[in-house]
Structure 1
Amino acid sequence: MLLVASLPLKALAIPLLARVAWVDFTTQKISNGIVLLLLGLGLGSLLLVAVQSGSWWDMGMSVAAGLLLFVVFFPFWALRKVGAGDVKLMAVMPLLVGGAGLVVFSLLLMVFAVAMAVVVVNPFLLPAGAFRVYVQHMDRKGVVPFGVPISAAAIGAIGFQIYGSWVVASSSGILDQLN
């Protein structure tokens, strides 16, 4: 039952991640409060899964991955290549998606980061003139809102986890027992 309770915590993170993406895209800022809220949702979800399974492996792996990402991205912040909010958000993502979701998150992050780079470098691919001007302004400033692909990848990874849990629950008859 605790495993089922961990999914709504992850589902609550989806609108927060969408807000992070939008605010980062429009203002190039990521709020510490939202990052802390995402951290709390991720830790709560991991804690529920750890108590249910009796294994702390997933939580330990997620914490280690978060620390590793913070250490890896910190020099890029020091060189002014990424923002501090991006570094903090990236460090929280392994805790939010869990150790099992890191592969999906990483693959989606690569896809969305390349897509964002293509849009920033080639704004003529976009249909709206005002949007094109805005992206060109971002390119001149040298600022790329990296929170957008991070958030999109996390939403995708969480969506895969929720879908996978739904499939397992429906095939094992758990959903029939809840009705």
Structure 2
Amino acid sequence: MARKTMEDLFVHALSDIYSAEKQLTKALPKLARASTNTALAAAFTTHLEETQGQIERIDQIVEITGLKLKRMKCVAMEGLVEEGNEVIEEIEKGPVLDAALIGAAQKVEHYEIASYGTLAAMATKLGMTEAAQLLVETLEEEKSTDQKLTLLAEEHSAGQA
């Protein structure tokens, strides 16, 4: 898709994160099953519910703006999901795998934070106030999830000391 205008760029970025979120809904249950830390498994399950809500917000944005998403695959998320799958396959279940899962999940969160921050700024620039508000709502959820993962990592490493 040619990205000649700010709106073209917005549609491309929104389509990309939509694909990313869809991929994440398939990956999060696997991360939860791989974790031996019950708090971490619960965090993955909670984030799955949030992700489903974030997909619904993107659907709302499409409805509000009348824009049409492009069919595409987010290759960045595909790579992050694959990286998570590799640690599950390569590391024995236990505290080391849990630490690796937290790291993999935080990489995903940071990608999402960057994506939603950019999308919110573009929506604002395009005068899509309602869309911008929905994107900021998702951005704040992603930041919150990242903070929860940081706390889990700190608790996890304190337990290993």
Q: Same fold (TM over 0.5)?
A: no
Q: If the length of structure 1 is used for normalisation, what is the TM-score?
A: 0.34
Normalized against structure 2, the TM-score is what?
Answer: 0.37
